[in-house]
Amino acid sequence: MQALLELDCIPSGMELFPAANEDQWTLIRGVIDDCDYYVVVIGGRYGSVGRTGISYTQMEYEYAVSQNKPIIAFYTKTWSVAANKCEKSQEGREKLERFRAMAQEKMCRFWTSPADLGSVVSRSLVKLIKTHPAVGWVRADLLPDQSAAEEMLRLRKRVENWKTLWEHHLLEPSIYPKAKRLLH
């Protein structure tokens, strides 16, 4: 989290989700839809499993892929995770290994310690932002006010009307040269 905050990113993980009136998966999908990038950290546990038998983390990952979100996965080898932070069951370990293999099909980086993870996340996210620029958040005081938005909409409609007239050759022939310059 600290590495993301230092990059002026606004992280949103399940641990930060509020209590809400909607089901957990609906809330998660909405958060992913609002994000510019999807970052997943895969440690020694598969994670909380939903009704489908797939962990929420894997469902999030698969959903982000389906929404064409730029994704970076960070994973650690099980041997570098303390035993009390590893998957206990054979089934859980197998699911975790399949999920890791899936994540490694996209951009994926390996980490060995919490300090290393922060460093790897920072470097990787800077590169991802450069290669896949996104809208991000915009300060409310930089948004156009209602009258400016209405004027832009009015002008856009006017341009569309002129384009329609131009395409259907309904303009007065004497204004073709001027219209051609304005519309192209």
User: What's the pTM?
Assistant: 0.68
pLDDT at 54: 92
pLDDT at 18: 61
* Residue (of 78, 129, 71) closest to 105 by Cα position: 71
pLDDT class for 40, splitting at 50, 70, 90? very high
Q: Tell which wins on pLDDT, 96 or 22.
A: 96
- 85-143 tens-digit pLDDT: 788 888 988 999 999 999 998 888 888 888 888 888 888 888 988 999 888 777 777 77
Report the percentage of the chain scoring pLDDT > 70.
Answer: 82
Phi and psi angles of residue 72, each rounded to the nearest 5 degrees, phi first? -130, 135
Residues 92, 111: Cα–Cα separation, whole Å: 21
Mean pLDDT of 13-19: 65
Q: Is the pLDDT of residue 64 over 60?
A: yes
Tell me the pLDDT of the chain averaged across its residues.
82
Q: Is the pLDDT of residue 20 over 80?
A: no
Amino acid at residue number 69: K
Q: Tell which wins on pLDDT, 12 or 21.
A: 12
pLDDT at 175: 63
74-to-48, 77, 81, 110, 124 alpha-carbon distances in Å: 18, 10, 14, 6, 10
